[in-house]
Copies of this chain bind each other. A is one copy, B any other.
Amino acid sequence: MNAPLPTPAALSTSSERLWSSLMSLATLGATPRGGIRRLALTELDAQGRDRVTGWLREAGCQILCDAIGNLYAIRPGTDATAAPVAMGSHLDTQPSGGRFDGQYGVLAGLEVIRTLNDAGIATRKPIAVAVWTNEEGTRFQPVMMGSGVYAGAFTVEHCVAQRDAEGISVGEALAAIGAAGTDAAPRFDAYFESHIEQGPVLENEGKTIGVVEGALGQRWFDVVLEGQDAHAGPTPIELRRDALLAAAHLTVAVREVATSHPHYARGTVGRLVVSPNSRNVIPGRVEMSIDLRCADAATLDAMTDAVKGAAAKISADSGVSISLEQTVYFAPCAFDASLVASIETTAQAFGYSHRRLASGAGHDAVYVARRCPTAMIFVPCERGISHNEIENADPAHIHAGANVLLHAVLARAQREG
Contacts and interface: CB of A to CB of B under 8 A. Distances in A.
Contact of A360 (B235, B245, B251): B235
Contact of A200 (B197, B235, B249): B235
Chain A: interface secondary structure?
A: mixed
A271 B274 contact: yes
A2 interface: no
Contacts of A258: 237
Given A245-B255, A248-B247, A279-B289, A234 B197 contact: yes
How many copies of this kind of chain does the complex include? 2
Nearest to A234: B199
Interface string A223-265: 0000000111111110100101101110110010011000011
A289 B277 CA distance: 10
Interface residues of A, number: 57
A245 B269 contact: yes
B201 A291 contact: no
Nearest to A196: B234
Contacts of A281: 270
Given A233-B360, A237-B265, A271-B274, 6 more contacts: A201-B236, A232-B360, A235-B360, A237-B266, A270-B282, A272-B277
Interface of A: 197-201, 204, 216, 218, 220, 230-237, 239, 242, 244-245, 247-249, 251-252, 255, 258-259, 264-274, 277-283, 289, 291, 293, 359-362, 384, 386-387
